[in-house]
Structures are given as structure tokens and as C-alpha cells.
Amino acid sequence: MIGKFCKWLFPVLFVLWAMLIFFFSSQTYEEQRISPFLGKLNTPFLYEKLSGISFMYGGLEVSVHTAGVAGFLEFFIRKGAHLIIFFVFGFLTICVWRTFVKKSIITISGALLCVLFYASADELHQKFTGGRTPLWQDILLDTFGGLLGILCFLMINRRRKRH
């Protein structure tokens, strides 16, 4: 009985997590915006400390000069969320693949392709959501997060087999 429960636990969690990602992608930027809460961090001290950091992402400069302290910090929080959300997605994806496919190379490559596909579909979905911009850089970030989740699963699985 427990074996059957476990066999379907990861697919159910996988579907629920995919739905959560879809829900977040359905929200407009204004619904997800956290820079007003970070506004209290708009201090001359932080502005000075962060003013030397500047880089391009999605064709736009990311810096405190262009976004202010709150917008700059929000950028990193949002991109960190991409990484974490797809880390979990990658972990759950390989759990599902491992449940039904025993050949390692197929399991790993299938899970990674699923992550890449869903990251791409997620960005396409954002194209049709108000105030959101689909970026290929986010697809790479999401896929990297998923890859980290897959690697974490493999490390845990390897340790478990040793003991």
C-alpha cells in the first residue's frame, strides 16, 4: 500500500508545483511587485554601497542608478525566486522520471528536457500576461535552477545507495 502511495506522490506534487508556477506567471508585474515594501531600504548608505554594481540583463542595465535601491534588490529577489522555484521543479521532475524509468541517462536527460520545455512555456505564457516580459535569460536561469534540483536529487540518491 505504501509503495503505491509513494509511486503517485511525486507525480501529484509535480503537477501541483507546475500549477503553482503557472499561477505565478499569470500574475501581472504589479501584482507581484515588492519594491514598495523594499522602499525603506532606499537609503544613501545602501545606494553608495551598491552603486558600483552594474550589468546588463535582458537588454537593460541593472543598477541602483537605473532602478533605485528597492528596484535593484527586487531584481535579485525575483531572479532568486526563479532559481528556487525551478530547483524544486527539477527535483520533482527527476523524482517522477525515476519512478517510471530506471535507465539513468534517459531519466536525467528526460527530466532536464522537461525543465527546459516548462521554462520555455512559462516565458511564453508571460508574453500574454500584462506587464510581464518573456526573456530567454529567464529560460536559462530557470533551466539552471532545474539542473541544480536534478543534481541535488542525484547526490541524495547516491548517498542513500551508499548507506
Output the pLDDT for position 124.
95
Output the pLDDT for position 37.
83
Residues 132/126, Cβ–Cβ less than 8 Å = yes
Mean pLDDT of 103-120: 97
Answering whether pTM is above 0.85, one says: yes
Q: Write down the mean pLDDT value for the chain.
A: 92
